[in-house]
Structure 1
Amino acid sequence: MQNFKSLVYLISVGLALLPSKAFAHGGVEEPQSGLPKSTYGLLAMGLLFILFVAFYMVMKKKVQGLKSVKKKEDRIKRQRLEKNLQVLKWGWILSLVGVVITGSLSVMGDKLTTGEGTYLEHVHGLGYSMDGKQIMIPAHDGLKTYSEGHWGSAEGEKHDYMGFSAVDDGFYSSGHPAPGSDKKNPFGIVKSTDEGKTFETLDLYGEIDFHLMSVGYQTHAIYVINPQPNSRMDSTGLYYSIDEAKTWTKSAMKGISEEPTAIAVHPSNEAMLAIGTQSGVFLSKDNGQTFEKVVSKGQATSLFFNTNGTLFVGGYDKQAYLLKLNIENKKSDEISIPDINEDDAIAYITENPANVKEMAFATFKKDVYVSHDNAAQWIKVAEQGKGIDEKNH
């Protein structure tokens, strides 16, 4: 029993370190598989508490058995056991405190992963899942999700998606891999059909990152603004592919002399697309060969075609605005939106393909709004990147 304290210490340290994830509670995200980190911590502390109590009870029984001894060596033994008993007593008390703390962190973690603990470091797109049940937001550190009034994170590696486009069977994107990933950087063009759990590479993998990219919701026609020459595109400018990036065609872009600020592709007409600039919105019906100006209201900051082919335009003309444009007669209606900071504007717009009454937009300042009633009322669900559950409104 002379080395009992050392033994207890080693057992304690070993148990505490055994599930290395147990106490690494640096955040509230769950691992890609398995239990949340805080739950590992709770299990480890619970096991530690049980062991300390078990040792304490055994030691206490031994001490009680030596109460009446008269021999000097037995008295010394009893005194040593009593000291060890005190060590064990403090051990189970501290481990019980650990159980309470890790239990609280576990409960808090559950709350944060679906609520105000979500933080959007950046916002690089906006779109609904295939079934329309959740909004997907590429946010620098992976896809964040918003569903039934609560925030969460999609499964899969936390990639930095750019040029994000939701379609009828998943999404297309460009971007960069997550830290520690074995994926090549940059992505070129990739596609996921399981909401980001996995993706397939289509083209220019490891070569280039497209920030301005859009894909037809039903046609899957891919349009990109190429920022620099690469192995598949000889020069900068507008390129498109209608065969999953197997072949590319360059568009002349006649009618546009300004730098593009936004791009959107019609859901069912692979030849139709819209491009935004500092002075408005231009529409093409011939794969981007020629463009006609259809909106002249300050700068176009975001564009989106819904599944019916209506074009939504986010822009800035002394203040942020949102328009709904009928591309057949070129008539537009302004949609009422909440007051936005005078130095902010709409960066991304989306509409629920399963429920046209529901839509959402995100601003450059990372405010996110959702409407469930055709934009009659808007609910702020993120403020400067911080997620807000609808239940708190």
Structure 2
Amino acid sequence: MKNMFFTFIVAISLFPVPAFAHGTGEQYQREMMMNSYVLIGSAILFALFLILHFSAKNKVNSPVVKVYKWGWVLTLVGVLVTGGMYLWGNRSSGAADVTTLHHIHGLGYSSDGQRILIPAHDGLRVYSQGQWSIPETAKHDYMGFSMIDDGFYSSGHPAPGTKLKEPLGIVKSKDEGKTIETLDLAGETDFHGMTASYKSHTIYAFTPAPNSKMKSKGLYYTKDETKTWTKSEMKGINEDLSALAVHPTKDSVVALGTDSGVYLSKDYGQNFEKILPDIQVTSLSFDNEGALYVGGLAEKPLLLRFDLETKKTGEIEIPTLKDDAVTYFTQNPVNKNELVFATYNKDIYLSGDKGVSWTKIADKGKGISQSKH
């Protein structure tokens, strides 16, 4: 009798409790897996109690029959409830319908201009044709993310469970993160300040501390995908860097941002001159034509376009940003009228008319997919 009541108590303890999918995709998967285990366990106990009940039902006055009866009734309820929760979770999960950007560590278009790639702390997110998606790639924490015409370069931290060294050093992918090639300094340096020339593939990286290839703190560049590095003297710079960008074709042209303005070098970072004063720079990016886009703060958040040839500066009208600023900007490599920028508060705006109007495609880290017609 004691064993029977013990079995009954075990059955009760296995009844499901409300657990709705939330948070990251990994959390959702764990919760759904737990629900499936509970569902299977409840089904097994239901079958066991049902068999025991019918095998002992001739013992009319025995309390054992009542225990078995209540056992299969309650476990049946458990099966129905757990099954309903499992189906509901699959249909309404945030992992399927909502893309979460826990952080934004970069912004770039695929070479065909069809997809916007965003490194979001736990892997990449993709926005294409009005829809958000999470690609089936390793969830590396990319930093210094830089798109080029045949893929991207990046630094950062490897996803848990991978065989890549911590930190990543400098890596490259030609298939939007499906495979990763380690180029240099794996296990040594995490480059937050890094950029690459879109066409020529020259990489600039600022190291906060010496490593095996960079003997002192500072800005370095490589024209042969990290086989050799050259240090930039950075003459004219005596402030901390806040942003970094390199011309898409003229790899000797590099721009630096600080809290006091924008500096430009035309000799691989050996000498800099200030081209835009009185602006706290939060982002820098060259467009396809070689103009420099500057995100920053000067009494208000703003986005500027600086023409290197004419030296003229124009302001791009952007939506009102409250306690916020532009952190990343990029232009579609195929359609020069399509612009996109991200902010500190993890909002993302897209324009199809070169900044005349903007559509919000992410709000505080929540991807906003457009309605399908």
TM-score range, shorter chain: 0.7 to 0.9
**Residue 114 (structure 2) pairs with residue 118 (structure 1):** no
CA–CA distance in structure 2, aligned partners of residues 306 and 12 of structure 1: 63
Q: How far does the alpha carbon of each residue in 1:131-167 deviate from its partner, in whole angstroms, 9 at most, with x for none?
A: 4333222222322333333433333332222111011
CA–CA distance in structure 2, aligned partners of residues 82 and 13 of structure 1: 19
Q: How far does the alpha carbon of each residue in 1:72-127 deviate from its partner, in whole angstroms, 9 at most, with x for none?
A: xx4456x6345313211211111101111121122222x44442x6142x322111
User: Deviating runs (4+, > 4 A) in structure 1?
Assistant: 1-16, 23-28, 35-64
Q: Secondary structure at the match of 2:257?
A: strand
Q: Could you say if the C-alpha distance between residues 60 and 9 of structure 1 is closer, same or farther in structure 2, counting changes exceeding 3 Å? A: same
**Residue 122 (structure 2) pairs with residue 141 (structure 1):** yes
CA–CA distance in structure 1, aligned partners of residues 20 and 364 of structure 2: 27
Q: Please say if residues 158 and 166 of structure 2, whose CA atoms lie closer than 8 Å, have aligned partners that are also in contact.
A: yes
User: Which residue number corresponds to residue 316 of structure 1?
Assistant: 297
User: Which residue number corresponds to residue 346 of structure 2?
Assistant: 366
Alignment of 1:171-320 (within 5 A): 171-320=152-301
User: Which residue number corresponds to residue 103 of structure 1?
Assistant: 87
CA–CA distance in structure 2, aligned partners of residues 24 and 51 of structure 1: 24
CA–CA distance in structure 1, aligned partners of residues 135 and 282 of structure 2: 27
Q: Please say if residues 128 and 352 of structure 1, whose CA atoms lie closer than 8 Å, have aligned partners that are also in contact.
A: yes
Amino acid at match of 1:367: D
Q: Secondary structure at the match of 1:278?
A: coil
Q: With structure 2 as the length reference, what TM-score do the two structures score?
A: 0.85
Q: Which moved more, 1:136-145 or 1:94-103?
A: 136-145
Amino acid at match of 1:29: G
Q: CA deviation at 1:256?
A: 3.0
Q: Please say if residues 238 and 250 of structure 1, whose CA atoms lie closer than 8 Å, have aligned partners that are also in contact.
A: yes
CA–CA distance in structure 1, aligned partners of residues 289 and 8 of structure 2: 69
Q: CA deviation at 1:216?
A: 0.9
CA–CA distance in structure 1, aligned partners of residues 303 and 15 of structure 2: 57
Q: Secondary structure at the match of 2:25?
A: coil
CA–CA distance in structure 1, aligned partners of residues 210 and 55 of structure 2: 81
Q: Please say if residues 5 and 67 of structure 2, whose CA atoms lie closer than 8 Å, have aligned partners that are also in contact.
A: no
Q: Could you say if the C-alpha distance between residues 357 and 4 of structure 1 is closer, same or farther in structure 2, counting changes exceeding 3 Å? A: farther
Q: Please say if residues 118 and 152 of structure 1, whose CA atoms lie closer than 8 Å, have aligned partners that are also in contact.
A: no
Q: Could you say if the C-alpha distance between residues 61 and 112 of structure 1 is closer, same or farther in structure 2, counting changes exceeding 3 Å? A: same
User: Which residue number corresponds to residue 385 of structure 1?
Assistant: 365
Aligned length: 370
Q: Secondary structure at the match of 2:104?
A: coil
Q: CA deviation at 1:244?
A: 0.3
User: Which residue number corresponds to residue 69 of structure 2?
Assistant: 85
Q: How far does the alpha carbon of each residue in 1:208-266 deviate from its partner, in whole angstroms, 9 at most, with x for none?
A: 12111100112110011222222111222221100000001112223333332211111
Q: Could you say if the C-alpha distance between residues 63 and 228 of structure 1 is closer, same or farther in structure 2, counting changes exceeding 3 Å? A: closer
CA–CA distance in structure 2, aligned partners of residues 27 and 4 of structure 1: 40
Q: How far does the alpha carbon of each residue in 1:148-196 deviate from its partner, in whole angstroms, 9 at most, with x for none?
A: 3343333333222211101122211111233454432222211122222
User: Which residue number corresponds to residue 327 of structure 1?
Assistant: 308
Which structure 2 residue ranges, 5 or more long, are not aligned? none
Q: Secondary structure at the match of 1:86?
A: helix
Which structure 1 residue ranges, 5 or more long, are not aligned? 17-22, 67-73
CA–CA distance in structure 1, aligned partners of residues 129 and 278 of structure 2: 35
Larger Rg: 1
CA–CA distance in structure 1, aligned partners of residues 52 and 353 of structure 2: 68
CA–CA distance in structure 2, aligned partners of residues 145 and 159 of structure 1: 15
Q: Could you say if the C-alpha distance between residues 2 and 277 of structure 1 is closer, same or farther in structure 2, counting changes exceeding 3 Å? A: closer
**Residue 132 (structure 2) pairs with residue 151 (structure 1):** yes
User: Which residue number corresponds to residue 161 of structure 1?
Assistant: 142
CA–CA distance in structure 2, aligned partners of residues 75 and 167 of structure 1: 79
Q: Which moved more, 1:279-288 or 1:140-149?
A: 140-149
Q: Could you say if the C-alpha distance between residues 360 and 52 of structure 1 is closer, same or farther in structure 2, counting changes exceeding 3 Å? A: same
